[in-house]
Amino acid sequence: MLITEPQATARAAQATQIAPKSIHHFINGQYVPGERWFDKRSPLNNALVARVAEAGREQVDAAVRAARAALKGPWGGLSVAQRVDLLYAVADGINRRFDDFLAAEVEDTGKPMSLARHVDIPRGAANFKVFADMIKNVPTEFFEMATPDGQGAINYSMRRPVGVVGVICPWNLPLLLMTWKVGPALACGNTVVVKPSEETPQTAALLGEVMNAAGVPPGVYNVVHGFGPDSAGEFLTTHRGVNAITFTGETRTGAAIMKAAADGARPVSLEMGGKNAAIVFADCDFEAAIEGTLRSCFANCGQVCLGTERVYVERPIFERFVAALKHGAEHMQLGPPEDPATGMGPLISQEHRGKVLSYYQKAAALGATVITGGGVPDMSAELQDGAWVQPTIWTGLGDESAIAREEIFGPCALVMPFDREDEVIRRVNDNAYGLATAIWTTNLSRAHRVAAAIEVGIAWVNSWFLRDLRTPFGGAKQSGIGREGGVHSLEFYTELKNVCIKL
């Protein structure tokens, strides 16, 4: 990671007591300083915690050239079994340095340590092993065919790496979502240039140390820091040496990346925005529906692409459900990440807090009933300058309002009643986004009907955020293009070649 102070393993809440680090690019197996620098501030208290290198066009070009050289050199010459062994070593390296990754993730995001410890870091390591195992066992095709001379021919397919992959990562689950892309890309024999979010640079940089320790050849894994337009993001996505681009983030950025990828007809995998709905039928397991909806609305301070911002509740239980959701939200403890009682941390930045609070103000101006929240919480003196907002629940607005149609990406939800199954399906689908939904019902036939009818990439029934990593993941409509997960990731990160042999 090449920082000016020893590796930070102290609690993130102590960031003000640690001199700011210098976080460098990782190019061709070495840490490289920046052409320019930008500040990384703590979401907890707005303290300066790091100075981060910003890549110019030349540094991005150096990273892409290093990736191309590794692709044609030592990495490209490895067998599948050798790649698998190295990826296992990377996963083991993350686990050996678990506390370092935990400290970096929490310092960047401010999220509760309990969440990062049980989700982000274990999944970040597991992604390498899951896709290493998968590439060992993925099937290919074999066909026999007749020929005019009667001798016949055989056809078989081979998977070959697509090449250098540009990996553009979000800030909400930095390590998890980065390795969700890097793991299968490397398993398939590609090399990568990663552009982490400017808000969360540390774990991507730290992973370079693990790659070196594991024996991954230089140039296979590269990291360049910076922003989007006229910075690392634009320079990477427009670079003609990049063969494919995978991106997770908001829809406007995804559209810009898709335009850039059109130059050279390069494939893209885009997981973009959402305005996800939960549908709660009167016959649901009420307590399970409340617990699941509280998680889907407020986990990670609402900064989850799969999170719920619209909640449709069947009218007979509407008032009871709103009261129970209010009770749960008001008993959610906000606080420092190391406190086991903390249920919700801050938003990622002051800038994002400004966006979320603008929607809180807009909801009030539109006449929403504020069931709870709607503003800024009172925090202790050491946290009062952080990016904190209250978990918020509204009623009283309809599907046509901006609160029901635009992605906010904060700890908030609009709760609306419905009367009929066909009505709620129509209302949920009347939205530009289509990433995920959660359906709460004990009626098995209804569960199948509604799950099939909702226009999304993933539909949960009586659960939320429950995933088998072998299943397809992605969005419909403006929520994305393509699928990742299981063999669907391998299809994006490989080119299929057919070999036809005349007998």
Tokens, residue 482: 């393509």
Is residue 460 within 8 A of residue 466, CB to CB? The reply is yes
Q: 3-state DSSP: the chain helix, strand, coil percent, rounded to 5?
A: 40, 20, 40
Reply yes or no on whether 500 is catalytic: no
CA dihedral 99, 105, 106, 110 (to 10 degrees): 180
Q: Which of 169, 284, 297, 305 is catalytic?
A: 305
80-96 and 98-109 helices, crossing angle to 10°: 70
Question: d(Cα 428, Cα 444) in Å, to the nearest integer?
Answer: 20
Please list, in sequence order, all residues whose beta carbon lies within 8 angstroms of the beta carbon of residue 280, skipping any fewer than 6 positions away: 289, 293, 311, 312, 313, 314, 317, 321, 440
> Is residue 212 classed exposed, middle or buried when 0-12, 13-18 and 19+ CB atoms within 10 A define those classes?
middle
Catalytic site residue from 198, 271, 314, 484 = 271
Q: Are strands 476-477 and 276-280 parallel, antiparallel or unpaired?
A: unpaired
Q: Is 305 noted as a catalytic residue in this protein?
A: yes
Map residue 3 onto helix, strand or coil. Answer: coil
Instruction: Provide the CA 318 distance to its chain's centre, in angstroms.
Output: 32
Inter-CA distances, 177 with 331, 375, 498, Å: 29, 30, 32
- φ/ψ region of 496 (left if φ > 0, alpha if ψ in -120 to 50, else beta) reads beta
Residues with catalytic roles: 271, 305
